[in-house]
Amino acid sequence: MSYAETQEATKNLLLSHAGSRFPVPVVEIANKLGVTVVSDPNYPSDRSGHIHVDDAGNSTIVVNEKHSPERKRFTIAHEIAHSYFDGDYLKLHKVIDRNGNAADASYRERERRANDFAANLLMPEEQFIQQWIALGGLEKVTDYFFVSKEAAHYRAINLGLLSA
């Protein structure tokens, strides 16, 4: 799936589940898609989260409770992408997890797409550029979209607003 196709899918999801509310209500979107979100206080510190499907077909996103709210939002958006695009894979493998199936040939592509989707969901291109201009750069955009500085910085680079 191309970046443009991922961007279009994200735009459609936003329109149907969140409208133009910012920050985007990622837990609400997950719930509307039938995905439960839980926070795990015992999650490994070097990991952010994962999505899994139980035998009854119920999807759950698990996030690291110790991470910042901004990081958790990106993780939830990333895992929503897996739910949205990788349903067949999840039904078969039950989980998309870097430790569980990172050797799978399509793993890197699924992860790239999920990261693109998360950035587009939390910081849609048009709104990000508008707010970048209106608010005056990284700090204020970070607050407006309630994302980490790292996520906003990468988004600004990817949209040509900052150089790498």
pTM to 2 decimals? 0.89
The closest of 1, 3, 2 to 120, measured between CA atoms, is 3
Q: Render pLDDT for 41-78 as a digit per residue (tens, 0 to 9).
A: 999 988 899 999 888 989 999 999 999 999 999 999 99
DSSP 98: H
Q: What pLDDT does 55 receive?
A: 87
- Weakly modelled stretches of the chain, pLDDT under 50: none
Domain chopping of the chain, boundaries: 3-122, 123-164
Per-residue confidence (pLDDT) for residue 37, from 0 to 100 = 97
For residues 6 and 21, the answer to whether their CB atoms sit within 8 Å is: no
The contacts of residue 142 (CB under 8 Å, 6+ apart) are 70, 148, 149, 152
Question: Residue 23: is the preceding peptide bond cis (ω within 30°)?
Answer: yes
Domain 3-122: top CATH class: mainly alpha
CA distance 16 to 94: 27
Question: For position 35, what pLDDT does the model report?
Answer: 94
